[in-house]
Structure 1
């Protein structure tokens, strides 16, 4: 048995964003569903708004979606609760126990085999003979990991199986036909079908919640990581039928082989000595390696002759010293080093006794060299930033290639060969191919530019337009500005700086911006110095020279200048309240006019363009002034403890829905509902009322009559929480201000696997994707609720992902056409680009504001912002409180401008 140390607090646990995405839904029967709306009974209860109608606007486009029709079982499904003692086991071990229970312990009870989700739920196609109480406890024996035949006795697990319900699949038939409410019975029935279709691949391949992965298509990207092609599948209800949504996915896997090799590759080293603390391994590198390895299973290849190979063990942490100096206490009370123990165990000395040990199980220590990494282990840590491009290259496929890859995966999915699918009476119609459905392509809104534009209004084409001969609708003035360069003067000379300044000035003039001083103060600084003080000094020189402070600081960054960027943004957004524009030295050196035009899109919070009022009546109705809010929450990376979640709310203050302001906050880690939503909404509503009165000079009352709240990042399992927890806070903010706008709440989802491709490739855009403005609200939609998919952006690389809109609450009485037009129009006012974007601009801005929230902390402080920083227990709570206390508010000057552009 491997040596053990005193019990520790355990390895850190990672948690992701809660709940499954809304995902794919389907229609009734193959082909196109009739135009008429299926009758939805008045007694049907929905979480969101009942679908009022189908959209009719736009031109028709026939598309395929990556789904297949599946039948609904015609017999009762039995639902059983599984209770395993101890109850805190990993899903993988739970699955092993239930498989042994069915195959070896009680095959007479579990024939044919039931399906199991790895946690609490088991479903059977027939009644299990559990006795008169419909409950029975079984003993399942597993040998403890890492023991030999003569050591500790096998461990006995108690598995209790209890019948909890019978599911009549007829509820699904009624539900997809709009005659049954979306209740727990329906949710459980859908869950049972998902467990059925995932059971076969989960027994044969590595898997996570809804995808499994094979080694038929892999890519080694270095750092000890391999990419494996995977397949996602999800049974979802649709309008009149059930579908299986199938997509390709990408799994990050630990590279198999000797653990020493994996460690060296991750650290970028070649010599084993670099894994020895006594020979120079820095403690920060040890901790970085520990975060990477925690949770990895390793097999032991160093066992006494005649004893069985030990099963894989899970790494908890790394030792602080080598095996030759790390001691432990034997059962007879004596002490021995780990290296000496393994020399005795295997009758041969370790080759690298000075290297680290891994701690596994309940304190057992294993030298690195005795450990082997088995293949097929999913890495659930955050990807190293430098490997992002490799993952994108592997996972990005053009639409036709993606759909072909899905079709190729049907052989692996093997629905027709799954004994589980057959015994539950299901069949999947893969033979006809992908599901053909109808869609429509909406007309884009007309966009209006400012005076002096040769073309004052334009109609985007394929989701894009350009700034040639166009002036901003409301350009801002650069009164005084300074340039601070953090690249060496040899690499970024005075002449390059002059050319850069001329390019920026010319770019500003081309879009109608006025630059008062065309020869700003230019300073070269050392990026290793105190950034805030350097910027403050530059501002003071500007005051001395021009008799006023700068209203813009342009900063030129070297490659890898992320720390400088963070310090600059903290100084501008929080400390001084001055606009900052960071430019990469490699890009702004000898840049072309188009580059400077793009930079100008982000300057000083002006209004670049607005939707032409007559083309988007729902936004510009003067009798119904409208405020549009976007809200988001972002959480720490998986496996990270002690870091907060950041929240943001963004809203327009102008009548044209083009000028936005933002507010942001910090809250408990991984909490999805926004705690401070009331105060955040109140602030934006107040500024909207003030702006319309003081800037636009609108007659009173200047309060909005319509409030449209777009919520990002919420899974379908959290829709009810939005209505129960967040909607009352929005209403309370309105009550505080004594206003009564009609409220509409819409969730915008991107975490789903629904894709579309034109049936006729000639109707695709240049990337092979559906054209911008493609909307689907019929076959792939909720049977009773108001939802739709909108692909609002033109394709660039890979297969475009449509956004999924779910209307949860609506006092404004939107129909399908008006809501879809509203969403599409808002995708065209994103100030950073001259392209329509994939989600409404306020939602996009909210995401950016959340991402920039770390700039609200003093960069010279002691808080660790590394996404792999990990604490456990009380440490995590203390650190979280420290993050909350250290959070600094946005400077008052920046609260009125689009600092997040």
Structure 2
């Protein structure tokens, strides 16, 4: 597997990666503080850990490819939607183009532009809510007009119509009540007669919003309500309610109290947003935005065949007539839905609506689903179906057959619990339980098989299958698998396999014009905002005092000048953010004193073809193994890399990389590295028989952390393929040179004042355990930093920290409290000192990745003091500290931009079928949809090859350097051309990108803990997991860019 290969999922970041911008699940949360955007329902991405797969809807992101759009609803006017996805109706392939190409282009709202221009004069040079105010708007580059997936809310106040207040109530529920029960309770509460004649919406968790004040009655002091259960057993002929039914009713009787909180008017929000005073305050803006989100999501939340995820993503599920879907394999289906978020901007309130793609379980029988999953062991099967909701259908001893919804806790435990060697799971004949016979009062011990045959007249057809526990661990309830069917619309929250990821990307990637059309047509319809036959908003949002315009906003944008790219002897031609380095030499060549190559076979699969067969077309263009390595060495030398003593091409064979063989394969790998270390090898090139994530991870563990040997991996079939071999060798040369301390290329004039040669750039990122990770799995925090003005070498520091903790800081280690961020910052500063004659940097610019809008203040509160502690230790007095800027990099947002003219789009007239129709690299937007006071902008530096390109979102949260808008935008754009592992501009600024890659490497060091789900119980041990990694890197590599 080439080190350029996709590296699988990250934390819960989804099971795929390409060239930047993959999905991390959502971020959630509002901005916090007084300046909060108030998007507490959703923030940038819906509030998940970085888990499972949740695409943002056809995004190019890190290499993804084209999505299709979907939506619709039931329960109102009928919606005609063609089924798409598996292409069951043989619809023709989609084609790209400019969205609304033949329609007039509406000019961006001049009143908003004027308000921005006035407001920025008030924010310049001020600290507002602890963050620097906007210093200005950018002016550099060619001015263009773009459409964006935002829609303007128009309040009754703005149209000079009477407005009614919005009233907020909070429901305080007694005890620990599950989220599904909370939703059911809130649904029953708002259906009460108290709300007759009143428009009402709820978030299903706590909040109720109405258009009139209601009489609470007994709810104000406390009341109880029995949750409706359509499958509940009725009293028998004597009026007696069975004991188990009484117990169920007691469990489903919920005590609660309803509190009136306050009322709001939308006119207050609009007045605040229109204010041109930087000191204007409306303390309730976050709360009001939250209510607007609840109102906006009411319609799709109440449609039975639409699945809501995280409160603001809505997927027409498998039983919806207008579903958009694709089979992923392994028991999963991709569904297309929509993300919704109400957000405040200058002078107006906006709705951000975007396509979203998710993976869901197939709604088949549980037996069919388990078979589809392909999970070989019972442990993996149990992990796959755990917490799934199923319909259990059978005929009770008395009465008619019924269906009841239950949640799978797992398989029933096996017999002989105390035996050393026992079956872990029990089938229907082995699983026994006791019950009290209603007629005799006797306690009867029976098996599940006998119970269903005796009481329900059901002779199980597959009695050897493990029984399902649909109760709890402490109080189990057992049902056979063959009586259960999976409910539709249940999201799969774990990492996808390689094949599933490929299928998901194929489904998700769509041309931007098609995505835009889906948002306007199907997305607005799903949200209850548009219908061809009726005024649907009159039923949905207008009763709450506002409407939504159904045309996408237009905003001003600019295309920044393309930077120059220079190699050792020449400046190369850059086109659409890409260039060719063939026949170039690197700016500074790496030197390897001793290197070797290794051919690593796996089982019966050879890593390389030894004897080309001229009659075999596939093998005809391949060289033999030694010849291929010689060819690689020739390429490396042509780029200027100094390859010292060559230790030859070795060959070893591993066992098949099954879990059972991991310990044995580890021993072979240890022998390999011991041998190379004794020979003084400092670069080992390893040719693999096939892609194998576990093997790749173990090679990196041994090379990076145990023996201090640089490693580069490649799959033999790619290395020996004659077609495009030069390009593949060139990509390998980029990595050889970086690992060896070289400089691949430079961007003349990349440093823009206030940045200079005394400025250090830093990147910080944290990756979290994904769903299915081992209990107690850690998060991994990383800091990378530049070491000189070339900005090619980015040594990094890495630490384990408490799982799911985003902020980098204090943690307990060996009984003591240790600040990991202080340690890592000091490590990077001391390395800079060594490179600069003991001088420390005078300026530091930090690009912080992985922070949601609601966490900006936390970075300043929790992480900035760690920098100051490090400065105090190394610089001394505060007046000697470096000037510092911190810029948060966001990739998890749902903002998209669409060209309005062909000349502003990525269109190739000579190859129209290879045109992406995205915005041109260098497109920047800093007004029209941004906030009132902070310095922020969106930059699409890269070429989005497939799907809808996603810009990176940059927000300045600290700025001692006093950046102008033009300076920071152009600097960030220039830096995106300095990612040394590629010959193209990348979508996210390299400091953040390198930190992300280093965090991913940390996940490889803890492969079993963080990237696998074996269905093992807590405390179980899986061989060859790498869980022994202590968080350190070998001293021989520590100050190199070893992780690329």
TM value normalised by structure 1? 0.88
Note the 1:387-466 alignment, pairs <5 A.
Answer: 387-409=500-522, 410-415=524-529, 416-418=535-537, 419-430=539-550, 433-450=551-568, 453=569, 455=570, 457-458=571-572, 460-466=574-580
1:635 corresponds to = 768
1:377 and 2:482 aligned: no
1:808 and 2:957 aligned: yes
1:127 corresponds to = 213
2:991 corresponds to = 842
1:469 corresponds to = 583
1:306 and 2:306 aligned: no
2:295 corresponds to = 196
The separation in 1 between residues aligned to 2:503 and 2:43, in whole angstroms, is 28
Instruction: Report the Cα offset of residue 78 of structure 1.
Output: 1.4
1:703 and 2:840 aligned: yes
The separation in 2 between residues aligned to 1:206 and 1:531, in whole angstroms, is 44
Distance 1:373 1:719, change over 3 A: same
Distance 1:479 1:296, change over 3 A: same
The separation in 1 between residues aligned to 2:149 and 2:730, in whole angstroms, is 39
1:6 corresponds to = none
1:687 and 2:831 aligned: yes
Q: Is the Cα–Cα contact under 8 Å of residues 565 and 746 in structure 2 kept in the other structure?
A: yes
Distance 1:413 1:333, change over 3 A: same
The separation in 1 between residues aligned to 2:607 and 2:770, in whole angstroms, is 39
Q: Is the Cα–Cα contact under 8 Å of residues 481 and 521 in structure 1 kept in the other structure?
A: no
The separation in 1 between residues aligned to 2:669 and 2:166, in whole angstroms, is 68
Instruction: Report the Cα offset of residue 380 of structure 1.
Output: 2.6
The separation in 2 between residues aligned to 1:287 and 1:779, in whole angstroms, is 52
Deviations 1:768-799, CA, capped at 9 Å, x for gaps: 11011110001021121111101110111111
1:728 and 2:865 aligned: yes
Structure 1 counterpart SS, 2:735:
coil
Moved over 6 A (4+): 14-17, 539-544, 882-885
Instruction: Report the Cα offset of residue 459 of structure 1.
Output: 5.6
Structure 1 stretches lacking a partner, 5+ long: 1-13, 269-281, 694-699
1:595 corresponds to = 728
1:386 corresponds to = 499
Distance 1:875 1:497, change over 3 A: closer
Distance 1:496 1:413, change over 3 A: same
Deviations 1:751-784, CA, capped at 9 Å, x for gaps: 1111111101332113111011110001021121
Instruction: Report the Cα offset of residue 469 of structure 1.
Output: 2.8
Distance 1:708 1:742, change over 3 A: same
Structure 2 counterpart SS, 1:660:
coil
Deviations 1:135-164, CA, capped at 9 Å, x for gaps: 353432125686522431333212321012
Q: Is the Cα–Cα contact under 8 Å of residues 499 and 590 in structure 1 kept in the other structure?
A: no
1:520 and 2:669 aligned: no
Deviations 1:332-391, CA, capped at 9 Å, x for gaps: 322111111112232231222222111113421111011122222222333233310111
Note the 1:746-785 alignment, pairs <5 A.
Answer: 746-765=887-906, 766-785=915-934
Instruction: Report the Cα offset of residue 843 of structure 1.
Output: 0.7
Deviations 1:804-853, CA, capped at 9 Å, x for gaps: 01111111111111111121122111111000101111111111111111
Q: Is the Cα–Cα contact under 8 Å of residues 400 and 757 in structure 1 kept in the other structure?
A: yes
1:662 and 2:796 aligned: yes
1:100 and 2:188 aligned: yes
Instruction: Name which of structure 1's ranges 167-176 and 594-603 shifts more when overlaid on structure 2.
Output: 167-176
Q: Is the Cα–Cα contact under 8 Å of residues 108 and 554 in structure 2 kept in the other structure?
A: no
Deviations 1:167-186, CA, capped at 9 Å, x for gaps: 23234213423546677511
Q: Is the Cα–Cα contact under 8 Å of residues 601 and 608 in structure 1 kept in the other structure?
A: no
1:349 corresponds to = 459
Note the 1:534-613 alignment, pairs <5 A.
Answer: 549-591=680-722, 592-603=725-736, 604-613=739-748
Instruction: Report the Cα offset of residue 190 of structure 1.
Output: 0.8
The separation in 2 between residues aligned to 1:883 and 1:525, in whole angstroms, is 21
2:881 corresponds to = 740
The separation in 1 between residues aligned to 2:404 and 2:283, in whole angstroms, is 40
Structure 2 counterpart SS, 1:525:
strand
Q: Is the Cα–Cα contact under 8 Å of residues 681 and 733 in structure 1 kept in the other structure?
A: yes
The separation in 2 between residues aligned to 1:474 and 1:578, in whole angstroms, is 21
Deviations 1:74-97, CA, capped at 9 Å, x for gaps: 43221211122333311x332222
1:234 to 308, 321, 341: 341
1:492 and 2:609 aligned: yes
2:429 corresponds to = 324
Instruction: Report the Cα offset of residue 885 of structure 1.
Output: 7.0
2:1012 corresponds to = 867
Q: Is the Cα–Cα contact under 8 Å of residues 599 and 649 in structure 2 kept in the other structure?
A: no
Structure 1 counterpart SS, 2:867:
helix
Distance 1:884 1:485, change over 3 A: closer
Q: Is the Cα–Cα contact under 8 Å of residues 607 and 687 in structure 2 kept in the other structure?
A: no
The separation in 1 between residues aligned to 2:985 and 2:576, in whole angstroms, is 9
The separation in 1 between residues aligned to 2:1040 and 2:855, in whole angstroms, is 32
Structure 1 counterpart SS, 2:798:
strand
1:510 and 2:638 aligned: yes
The separation in 2 between residues aligned to 1:100 and 1:437, in whole angstroms, is 43
Instruction: Report the Cα offset of residue 638 of structure 1.
Output: 2.3
Distance 1:666 1:34, change over 3 A: same
Structure 1 counterpart SS, 2:131:
coil
Distance 1:646 1:871, change over 3 A: farther
Distance 1:359 1:101, change over 3 A: same
Aligned residues: 842
Deviations 1:548-592, CA, capped at 9 Å, x for gaps: 612210101111433322222112111111111111111111351
Q: Is the Cα–Cα contact under 8 Å of residues 410 and 469 in structure 2 kept in the other structure?
A: yes
The separation in 2 between residues aligned to 1:329 and 1:543, in whole angstroms, is 63
Instruction: Report the Cα offset of residue 743 of structure 1.
Output: 0.9
Q: Is the Cα–Cα contact under 8 Å of residues 637 and 867 in structure 1 kept in the other structure?
A: no
1:149 and 2:207 aligned: no
Structure 1 counterpart SS, 2:188:
helix
1:334 to 435, 441, 444: 444
Q: Is the Cα–Cα contact under 8 Å of residues 27 and 779 in structure 1 kept in the other structure?
A: no
Distance 1:252 1:705, change over 3 A: same
Distance 1:376 1:421, change over 3 A: same
1:19 and 2:147 aligned: no
Distance 1:893 1:386, change over 3 A: same
1:9 corresponds to = none
1:271 corresponds to = none
Distance 1:540 1:347, change over 3 A: closer
1:478 to 560, 568, 592: 592
Deviations 1:172-210, CA, capped at 9 Å, x for gaps: 213423546677511111111011000110100211121
Distance 1:337 1:612, change over 3 A: closer
Q: Is the Cα–Cα contact under 8 Å of residues 780 and 800 in structure 2 kept in the other structure?
A: yes
Q: Is the Cα–Cα contact under 8 Å of residues 29 and 241 in structure 1 kept in the other structure?
A: no
Distance 1:83 1:724, change over 3 A: same
Structure 2 counterpart SS, 1:405:
helix
The separation in 1 between residues aligned to 2:687 and 2:378, in whole angstroms, is 34
2:83 corresponds to = none
Structure 2 counterpart SS, 1:207:
strand
